[in-house]
Amino acid sequence: EKILKWILDFLRNCVQNVRLFDADGNPTFSSSQIVINGVPQGSVLGLNMLYIFTNNAPLALKSRMTLYADDSK
């Protein structure tokens, strides 16, 4: 139960933005956006959570799924 709470806390209220570079190589950032699904890319747990989801989702969902290397629909 504690691990589930920790995972939910880890995934809730995440925000992300994009770093872009102008022609001179100067960085600029997009405005922050709330992440409504998925796991944080580049996080230590991201790959493990994706693995758990992609291996268990077809069993838990009562619909057909198509799984790609880095995406699911």
**Which sequence spans correspond to the domains of the chain?**
2-60
- Look up the pTM and report it: 0.47
Average pLDDT, the chain: 81
Tens digit of each residue's pLDDT (9 = 90 or more) over 32-55: 999 888 777 778 888 888 777 777
pLDDT of residue 66: 72
E strands, 1-73, in order: 15-16, 19-21, 27-29, 33-34
First to last CA, the chain: 29
Q: Which SS3 state, helix, strand or coil, does residue 53 take?
A: helix
Q: What angle do CA 38, 13, 11 make, to 5 degrees?
A: 40
Cβ atoms of residues 17 and 30 within 8 Å: yes
The rounded percent of the chain whose pLDDT value lies above 70 is 85
pLDDT at residue 6, as a whole number: 87
